[in-house]
Amino acid sequence: MPTVDQVLEAIHGALREFKMEIPSLNSIISTQLTSPKLSCVNFAGAVLERINKEPQEWPSSQYIYPSGLFLNFTLMGDPSEYNHGFCVYFHQNVAYVIQAFLDHKIRLITPMSVHAFVASVVKLKSGRRDDVAAGYKEISSVDISNANYVLNTMYVCKA
């Protein structure tokens, strides 16, 4: 399982790959915002690859997240422009959501309690549009309530 320093290095490496260096990112507790030019799926994939080049599938129904666990989530649905990819690092009962979002400036690393993260994932998986939009906003801070997004598949990989 990766350490905090390894996660930060993976984030820095992915940002350098996309020429989006954020030099003041020296802690997992950061309020830095992402560039709206950065694709969420590409960024999350680049971070994951730096943690583990051969990730394993993780059951999306698993809601027990031990400290040190690093996961990559990909949400696929309709309309596809609201598909989203992000990573989560679990450390001492906190879920650190690591993400970007094309055309939006969002927080690069968003800490939330593991309980709040699980509640958001449950909302996403519910299939009810209002719940899906609420879970999506809780995780990404992007409001998709007017998009009528339908989540078809959630892929989860463990680093």
Domain count, the chain: 1
Choose among 59, 73, 45: nearest CA to 151. Answer: 73
The one-character DSSP state at 107 is B
What integer pLDDT is reported at residue 26 of this predicted model?
Answer: 84
DSSP sequence for 13-48:
HHHHHTT---TT--SSS--PBPPTTS-HHHHHHHHH
pLDDT in tens, 130-145: 999 999 999 999 999 9
Length of the chain, in residues: 159
Name the stretches of the chain with pLDDT < 50. Answer: none
User: What element of type H or E holds 70?
Assistant: strand 70-78
pLDDT at 84: 97
Residue with tokens 């490496």: 13
Judged on CB neighbours under 10 Å (0-12, 13-18, 19+), 115 is: exposed
The domain in which residue 34 lies consists of 4-158
21 backbone φψ class: left, alpha, beta (φ>0; ψ -120 to 50):
beta
Position 62 scores a pLDDT of 85
Tell me the C-alpha distance between 53 and 146, whole Å: 37
pLDDT tens profile 61-82: 888 899 999 999 999 999 999 9
